[in-house]
Amino acid sequence: MEKQNNEIDSVAENLAHIVPILKRIFIKGLRTKTNLSPQTLYTLGALSYHKKLTMSGIGNHLSVPKPHVTALVDKLIAEGLVERLSDERDRRIIYIQLTEKGKDTFKEVKRMMTESFRAELSIFDEDKIHKMYECSRYIRETLDEMAKSFQTGCCSGN
């Protein structure tokens, strides 16, 4: 039990450690190449993964205050990248989903993101890359599983 807690702490420390590195790799490289802010890019990513999200859902996924979600989505709609869908059953709810243009744009964003990363990672041998693939997938799946469970409780009015 003690050992288990130590391992959890190490996981937390390792993951916290890589956040600024990942931000540098993926976000910074994009800033000059697109007129979308990091959060709008995350929004596209969340929509690409979940297909359809409510406004609150987006806020929860990205930990963004609800009023700001409106602004983000407004921006994306102005660019023609997402669209609103109303729920027949509950007319308060608004679903957001990617348009075709949005899907294409996100695909392109992903390509640009991957491009530089590929050069960096390809200095490693095949085994290492494969292990990185497995590890990153495992962490992604586990975090997604975790994320489903917890309500942020963040930012009042969210």
Partner DNA sequence: GATAATAGTTATAATTTTGTAACCATTATT
Partner DNA sequence: AATAATGGTTACAAAATTATAACTATTATC
Binding site for its own copies (CB under 8 A): 4-5, 7-29, 42, 45-46, 49, 61-63, 110, 113-114, 117-118, 120-124, 126, 128-140, 142-144, 146-147, 149-150, 152, 154-155
Q: Number of helices (H) and strands (E), helices first, in the chain?
A: 7, 3
Q: Reduced to 3 states, what is the DSSP secondary structure of residue 140?
A: helix
Find which of DNA, its own copies, none residue 47 binds, CB within 5 to 8 Å per kind. Answer: none
Quick one: DSSP state of residue 123?
A: T
| Cβ-based nearer residue to DNA, 89 or 111 | 89
Question: Given its phi and psi angles, is residue 80 left (phi above 0), alpha (psi -120 to 50 degrees) or beta?
Answer: left
Q: How far is the CB of 86 from its own copies (least distance, A)?
A: 26
> Residue 120 interacts with DNA (CB under 7 A)?
no
Binding segment for DNA (CB under 7 A), chosen from 3-11, 91-99, 106-114, 134-142, is 91-99
Does residue 153 come out as left (phi exceeding 0), alpha (psi in the -120 to 50 range) or beta? left
Contact predicate 158/152, CB 8 Å: yes
Q: Report the side by side order of strands in the sheet with 53-54.
A: 53-54, 94-98, 82-86
Could you give the 3-state DSSP secondary structure of residue 34? coil
Residue 71 vs 143, nearer CB to its own copies? 143
In angstroms, what is the minimal distance from the CB of 88 to its own copies? 30
Stretches 1-9, 63-71, 108-116, 128-136: which one binds DNA (CB under 7 A)?
A: 63-71
The four Cα atoms 3, 4, 6, 9 give a dihedral, to 10 degrees, of 170
| Binding residues vs DNA (CB under 7 A) | 27-28, 31-32, 35, 37-40, 54-57, 63-71, 73-74, 84, 89-95, 154-157
